[in-house]
Amino acid sequence: MSLLRAANLIKPSRCLLAARFASTSSTLVPGSSKIQLQKPVGEQGFFSYGRNFSRNPYITGVQKPQSGDTVKSYLLGRIGHAYEVYPLILLSVALVTGMVLTAYYSFTKIEIWIDKSKIRFVLQLQDELVAAAKKRGTR
């Protein structure tokens, strides 16, 4: 392969991407926003706008995930401070478990209608009962 052809294979976008990944430092945190909202006139306090970088995999030095950022931490994040919620959680888990087990048990009872292999046995047993009843004279 000639040197000119090898140089032609290097695309500018690949060079930029390689330069970007090569220039990252160990703690990459972008600066604050260029456009800042202003605090309303007459209001007291401090107001600053910043971005949430917790889900960006290329940015390091930011806590990941932040509290309340996932479903589990949103629902159970403050459970240690609210002991009165424990019985409600326990009862709801028991209720859902009981409902699932009841549904499973009820669906296992209809296997005769779903699995037709037992119908032959039931029909044979019914024929034997009818024959025995005729033999006794009760049918």
pTM, to two decimals: 0.32
pLDDT, mean of residues 84-111? 90
CA 92 to CA 105: how far, in whole Å? 20
DSSP state of 74: H
Chain segment 102-130, per-residue pLDDT in tens:
999 988 877 655 666 677 888 889 999 99
11-22 pLDDT, tens per residue? 665 566 565 666
CA distance 82 to 133: 68
63 near 54, Cβ under 8 Å?
yes
Phi, psi of 7 (to 5 degrees): -70, -30
- Distance CA(138)–CA(136), nearest Å, equals 6
Q: What confidence category does residue 6 fall into, taking pLDDT thresholds of 50, 70 and 90?
A: low
